[in-house]
């Protein structure tokens, strides 16, 4: 054992950076962060595909913990590009001198709980092991890339990319025949950009997705000045919302509005652009009739934009309520299908049969391509943690415990895995809210708890099974009071063959969740079982 720390943080994305800042600078702990990439940024380090952009507004999708940072950093666009967000993460790392405690190009491969010393032994891919009292997982929710096992893929002679592992030097599509497989957020952002360069682009679509126009634009000097002047109050308000971004209040429940009022409200939101469309009606995600009205409006727009009615019909999402698969936000996605060099192939009823040396075969039709881009998503929420060999008490493996679906208390901790804290884990609001806002709440709560544990001489903490069962039940119950479980989404684990279908994120909202966490803390960290240092020593 060469190194001993108070805390190991896994990942140097937005969560890992803030965890390091809080634990090291506010609590005075010895902390090391392990990061697979060769710089900070997490998602925004890896996702360098053309068109990669955040679909939460930049003025909200940023840290609030450093008021001077809010003043010194200036966002250039309403929805920031990947390079700008990465530059922001790098700026934050620089400003808070974070890189000195981050080991880059290092993957955590295992974490084994040592009951005797109440510590984790953390194994790295270079063979080294280190010891830490606490492990904080900041591995992200969408970082374990998924490439379907298409027969013949290894025979393909051309270039192959996944949107989540894009080459740093970029890809030149000029003059090439390109296949994009997948039409989630990544595909929908990349397709218009690739189409501008490629000789021909063929899009393989399994499930049509609802996409809203971003109406992205530069932020004016006046807007920036106004936001900066009001940042303290904006940041406080963000925490009081369900989604972590400030949106206009809904026009009302759909049934309380006339058809004309409904229409006007939808038109206004569509014209404004961005994901705020989903907030047009208060009951958009809980009432199927309200949802159908919002969905139908988008389907009409698709038919308006796409010139070929057959292509428009293929692009129309009809199988699930709008927003129950993650809503997409695009720039010119539907219009891209009006280009002569773009073909849409539906693989809904006839799946991709195989990939050959020179292309993709669907239902006996073969498309010759030079490049395949997989925009096929991620083993979401549980994938990144399950890829690490995590062993808790009595050698229990986390991936075995979660075989039938993830089990956490508050999304933050799991019984049998003491002193392991998970930022934006399954059972937390995370992916259903502004991620940076969710991360800050989680990290601050975890840091507050660690401070208390240290002050009280607590060697180990883990959730009580009953508290965990109650939380898992609550997460499930709240999800089923909405329309979300009606879609075969990655929220449900439905995109990974064999993955249990459990709705993973907490739908109750960031504000409600934050209050629950605060109540747990105020009640002596109700639901956690503590082992004191001296009790441990007496054993």
Which of 378, 400, 347 is CA-nearest to residue 491? Answer: 378
- Give the C-alpha separation, 396 to 412, whole Å: 18
User: Helix, strand, or coil here: 510?
Assistant: helix
Q: CB of residue 376 vs ligand NA7: minimum separation in angstroms?
A: 4
Q: CB of residue 276 vs ligand NA7: minimum separation in angstroms?
A: 16
- Give the C-alpha separation, 323 to 284, whole Å: 9
Contact 185, 329 (CB under 8 A): yes
If 0-12 CB within 10 Å is exposed, 13-18 middle and 19+ buried, where does residue 335 land? middle
Nearer to ligand NA7, 187 or 508 (CB): 187
Nearer to ligand NA7, 118 or 386 (CB): 386
Which of 328, 338, 365 is CA-nearest to residue 349? Answer: 365
Q: CB of residue 488 vs ligand NA7: minimum separation in angstroms?
A: 7
DSSP H/E element including 149: none
Q: CB of residue 378 vs ligand NA7: minimum separation in angstroms?
A: 6
Q: CB of residue 41 vs ligand NA7: minimum separation in angstroms?
A: 15
Q: CB of residue 243 vs ligand NA7: minimum separation in angstroms?
A: 13
CB-nearest residue to ligand NA7: 184
- Give the C-alpha separation, 52 to 35, whole Å: 21
Nearer to ligand NA7, 23 or 329 (CB): 329
Q: CB of residue 28 vs ligand NA7: minimum separation in angstroms?
A: 35
Nearer to ligand NA7, 51 or 184 (CB): 184
Nearer to ligand NA7, 69 or 160 (CB): 160
- CA-based Rg of the chain, rounded to a whole angstrom? 24
- Give the C-alpha separation, 277 to 296, whole Å: 13
What are the CA-CA distances from residue 160 to residues 116, 269, 397, 500 (Å)? 48, 38, 34, 29
User: Helix, strand, or coil here: 195?
Assistant: helix
Residue 159, φ and ψ in degrees, nearest 5: -85, 145
Q: CB of residue 349 vs ligand NA7: minimum separation in angstroms?
A: 12
- Give the C-alpha separation, 144 to 384, whole Å: 5
Nearer to ligand NA7, 262 or 376 (CB): 376
Question: What residues does 528 pair with on adjacent strands?
Answer: 463
Interface ranges with ligand NA7 (CB under 6 A): 142, 148, 163, 181-187, 204, 206-207, 326, 347, 352, 375-378, 490, 495
Q: CB of residue 269 vs ligand NA7: minimum separation in angstroms?
A: 20
Nearer to ligand NA7, 87 or 496 (CB): 496
Contact 159, 369 (CB under 8 A): no
Nearer to ligand NA7, 461 or 495 (CB): 495
Q: CB of residue 81 vs ligand NA7: minimum separation in angstroms?
A: 14
> DSSP letter at 77?
B
Which of 426, 429, 427, 448 is CA-nearest to residue 439? Answer: 429
Contact 209, 375 (CB under 8 A): no
What angle, rounded to 10 degrees, do the helices at 288-305 and 259-272 form? 60
Nearer to ligand NA7, 182 or 418 (CB): 182
Nearer to ligand NA7, 275 or 427 (CB): 275
- Give the C-alpha separation, 390 to 126, whole Å: 17
Q: CB of residue 13 vs ligand NA7: minimum separation in angstroms?
A: 13
What string of DSSP letters covers 323-352? TSSPPEEESSHHHHTTSTTEEEEE-SSS-E
């Amino acid at each position: 054992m060469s190194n001993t720390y108070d805390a190991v943080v896994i990942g140097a994305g937005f969560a890992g950076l803030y965890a390091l800042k809080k634990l090291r600078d506010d609590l005075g702990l010895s902390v090391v962060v392990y990061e697979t990439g060769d710089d900070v940024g997490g998602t925004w380090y890896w996702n360098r595909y053309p068109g990669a952009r955040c679909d939460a507004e930049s003025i909200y999708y940023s840290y609030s913990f450093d008021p001077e940072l809010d003043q010194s950093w200036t966002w250039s666009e309403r929805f920031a590009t990947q390079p700008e967000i990465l530059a922001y993460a790098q700026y934050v790392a620089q400003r808070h001198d974070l890189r000195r405690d981050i080991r880059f190009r290092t993957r955590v491969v295992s974490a084994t709980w040592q009951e005797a010393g109440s510590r984790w032994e953390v194994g790295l891919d270079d063979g080294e092991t280190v010891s830490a009292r606490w492990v904080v997982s900041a591995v992200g929710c969408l970082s374990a890339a998924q490439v379907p096992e298409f027969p013949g893929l290894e025979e393909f002679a051309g270039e192959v990319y996944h949107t989540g592992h894009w080459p740093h030097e970029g890809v030149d599509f000029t003059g090439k025949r390109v296949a994009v497989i997948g039409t989630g957020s990544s595909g929908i952002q990349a397709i218009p950009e690739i189409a501008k360069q490629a000789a021909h682009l063929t899009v393989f679509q399994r499930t049509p997705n609802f996409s809203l126009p971003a109406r992205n634009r530069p932020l004016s000097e006046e807007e920036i000045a106004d936001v900066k002047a009001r940042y303290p109050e904006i940041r406080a308000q963000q925490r009081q919302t369900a989604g972590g971004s400030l949106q206009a209040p809904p026009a009302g429940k759909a049934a309380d509005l006339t058809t004309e009022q409904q229409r006007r409200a939808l038109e206004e939101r569509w014209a404004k652009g961005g994901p705020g469309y989903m907030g047009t009606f208060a009951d958009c995600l809980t009432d199927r009739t309200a949802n159908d009205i919002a969905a139908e409006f988008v389907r009409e727009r698709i038919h308006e934009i796409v010139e070929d009615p057959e292509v428009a019909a293929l692009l129309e999402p009809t199988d699930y309520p709008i927003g129950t698969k993650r809503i997409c936000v695009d720039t010119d996605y539907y219009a891209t299908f009006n280009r002569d060099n773009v073909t849409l192939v539906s693989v809904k009823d006839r799946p991709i049969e195989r990939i050959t040396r020179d292309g993709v075969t669907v239902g006996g039709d073969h498309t010759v391509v030079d490049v395949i881009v997989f925009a096929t998503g991620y083993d979401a929420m549980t994938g990144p943690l399950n890829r690490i060999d995590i062993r808790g008490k009595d050698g229990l493996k986390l991936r075995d415990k979660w075989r039938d679906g993830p089990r956490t208390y508050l999304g933050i901790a799991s019984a049998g895995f003491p002193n392991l804290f998970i930022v934006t884990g399954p059972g937390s609001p995370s992916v259903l809210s502004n991620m940076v806002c969710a991360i800050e709440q989680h990290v601050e709560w975890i840091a507050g708890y660690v401070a208390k544990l240290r002050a009280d001489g607590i060697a180990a903490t883990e959730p009580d099974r009953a508290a965990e069962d109650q939380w898992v039940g609550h997460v499930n119950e709240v999800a089923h009071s909405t329309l979300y479980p009606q879609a075969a989404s990655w929220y449900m684990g439905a995109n990974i063959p064999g993955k249990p279908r459990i709705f993973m994120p907490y739908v109750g909202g960031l504000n409600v969740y934050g209050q629950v966490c605060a109540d747990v803390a105020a009640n002596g960290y109700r639901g956690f079982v503590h082992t004191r240092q001296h009790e441990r020593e007496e054993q």
